[in-house]
Amino acid sequence: MPGDGIGPEIMATALQALDALGVDHTTEEHLFGGAAIDAYGAALTEETTEACRRADAVLLAAVGGPRWDTTDPDAPRPEQGLLGLRKALGLFANLRPVRPLPALYDASPLRRERIEGTDLLVVRELTGGIYFGEKTRTATDASDLCHYTVAEVRRIARVAFEAARTRSNRVASVDKANVMETSRQWRQVVHEVHAEEFTDVQLEDILVDNAAMQLVSRPADFDVIVTENLFGDILSDEAAMLTGSIGMLPSASLGGAGGPGSPGLFEPVHGSAPDIAATGAANPLAMLLSTALMLHHGLGLQAQAAALESAVDRALDAGLRTRDLGGTATTNEATRAVLDHL
């Protein structure tokens, strides 16, 4: 699903990478987001939803743009497509790895010594919380309900603990338990799951405002961060800037642990950047790294995933810099630089 803005340009890069890797694959293309609103009046059609259910993996480039922004609660919005697809596919776990590359340490707004050695994973609950709660609006007030069930918290906590076991065995659970009842439930349930199954993993509770500060003061101290939908949305974008550009971060949205019969959704963290669409200036690296996550989690092609990630690292080591990283490389030049290292 190329989506909107720079989406079609960077999707072309992903498909080139799959061909260069020799991955035997069949693709179906579908309109999504603003492009689907223009064509069908809805950001996500039932036909597209069914195509996603049939697929082994879903690759998405970018969604949205100012031309579809509206305050009309009845008007379709591109982001509704994302929320709808996550619900339809049961994609409750969003994984966002954040690993600033040594070649880009100086591109980060933080000093090199603050980010050296950072390698963290944000595990965000994706189908509950305030984004999906009941919404009301009148002429004088509005409300959004933040709602979580114990089962929803248990399953995302399990994903985080299992991920930590493959990394440095540390989980930071982020909440606002000093104020919010949903956060008090969150903390209690996370600790229950920890005590029942994962006592070998180190668990730390952090209030969300403190976590926001710690992410920029001691990011290398984090391993796995697990949190609810709204907090995860904000913190993962903050963490993205540790890499020097939000154009560097991939993500995977999975059901359960992304097992058989559960197609995952793989997409870069950045938006559709309509201001640079069709200018050739888009950074394709997050899209390529999202493709690597698809190869790893979605298709089980570990060697090809590692090859693509390594090619991105090597291209950056060799001096590749797109405009958002302080260089001049175009989308096509960046693509070629990575493919040359495969």
In terms of DSSP bridges, do strands 93-98 and 224-227 run parallel, antiparallel, or are they unpaired? unpaired
Q: Is 87 a catalytic residue?
A: no
Of the candidates 327, 317, 263, the residue with the CA atom closest to the CA atom of residue 1? 263
Active site residue: 209, 275, 317, 340, which one?
209
Active site residue: 56, 221, 233, 313, which one?
233
The amino acid sitting at 109 is: P
Q: Which residue has the tokens 């993500």?
A: 251
Distance CA 91, CA 261 (A): 12
Q: Is 176 a catalytic residue?
A: yes
Active site residue: 105, 176, 223, 324, which one?
176
Query: Residue 148 in contact with residue 128, Cβ under 8 Å?
Result: yes
Q: Is 209 a catalytic residue?
A: yes
Between the CA of residue 82 and those of 43, 107, 141, what are the distances in Å? 8, 30, 26
Question: Beta-carbon neighbour count of residue 187 at 10 Å?
Answer: 17
Q: Is 237 a catalytic residue?
A: yes
Active site residue: 131, 148, 175, 223, which one?
131
Active site residue: 56, 119, 237, 313, which one?
237
As given in the structure block, the two tokens for residue 219 are: 């990011």
Give the long-range contacts of residues 321-324, CB within 8 A, separation 24 or more.
321/107, 322/245, 322/247, 322/281, 322/282, 322/283, 322/284, 322/285, 323/281, 323/283, 324/245, 324/247, 324/283
Query: Residue 307 in contact with residue 21, Cβ under 8 Å?
Result: yes
Q: Which residue has the tokens 């730390």?
A: 204
- φ/ψ (deg, to 5) at 18: -60, -40
Burial 258-297 (b: 16+ CB within 10 A, else e): beeeebbbbbbbbbbbbebbeeebbbbbbbbbbbbbbbbb
Max intra-chain CA distance, the chain: 59
Residue 42 burial by CB count (10 A; 0-12/13-18/19+): exposed, middle or buried? middle
Q: Is 233 a catalytic residue?
A: yes
User: What positions carry a catalytic annotation?
Assistant: 131, 176, 209, 233, 237
